[in-house]
Chains A and B, each alone.
Chain A
């Protein structure tokens, strides 16, 4: 059974810092991995999708990497801004194309 963990659970940084969020999964037989952002009381917004054959994806100030063999993914946020404050979740889908399994999320606060 796939299990996804995220470290740290919460993070508070001053504006302008570069930061890294970590995601680990127990079963490396994944189809893809997706990073989401969730604002309080809202739904999830997809940030980056990495297919199992890819090593990384970039979108603006965001960069996500994937190391299937070690069961890890990282989300790198460059030059953080207060508007980046949210909960970030990673989710993996297995090779059978079944449902996503979500991590518990990292709650990020970027202080002005």
Chain B
């Protein structure tokens, strides 16, 4: 079956712009979580959605937001981009929030210039 799909894979934005990243979970998975990965901070949790509701949010500023649609697809948005937002953004899905194995997508590489 198809894995977790993230789009776009690569993008370059300018400071002050906004960006929207998309994630399609594995079919049948209703829980989607987002992580930011940088060389300095490693993998950090952004937020988790289940059945269109945000269950948990990491320690990120309000410029970072997300949502989940009825088909479980999820988007995250970053407004007023800063250079420090340059990172690999990873999406993961599982059957439910307590579901065992989580499956990651290939990620979206964001570069802010």
**Residue positions of A touching B, CB distance < 8 A:** 31-32, 34, 36, 41-46, 49, 51, 89, 91, 97-105
CB distance from B37 to the nearest CB of A (A): 9
Complex-state Cα separation, A105 to B35, whole angstroms: 15
A-contact 0/1 string along B70-113, CB 8 Å cutoff: 00000000000000000010101000011011111111010000
Which residues of A are found within 8 Å of B58, using beta-carbon distances?
99
Verify A45–B104 contact, CB threshold 8 A: yes
Would you call the interface of chain A mostly helix, strand, loop, or mixed?
A: strand
Verify B45–A46 contact, CB threshold 8 A: no
CB distance from A96 to the nearest CB of B (A): 9
User: Could you give 6 example pairs across A and B, Cβ below 8 Å?
Assistant: A34-B102, A44-B92, A89-B43, A97-B98, A99-B58, A102-B35
Given contacts A31-B98, A44-B90, A99 and B104 within 8 Å (CB-CB): no
Residue of A45, A51, A98 touching B56 (CB-CB under 8 A): A98
Verify B104–A43 contact, CB threshold 8 A: yes
Complex-state Cα separation, A104 to B39, whole angstroms: 9
Given contacts A98-B56, A99-B33, A43 and B100 within 8 Å (CB-CB): no
Complex-state Cα separation, A102 to B101, whole angstroms: 14
Which residues of A are found within 8 Å of B42, using beta-carbon distances?
102-105
Verify A42–B106 contact, CB threshold 8 A: yes
Which residues of B are found within 8 Å of A46, using beta-carbon distances?
101-104
Which residues of B are found within 8 Å of A51, using beta-carbon distances?
100
Complex-state Cα separation, A98 to B54, whole angstroms: 12
Verify B100–A42 contact, CB threshold 8 A: no
Which residues of B are found within 8 Å of A91, using beta-carbon distances?
43
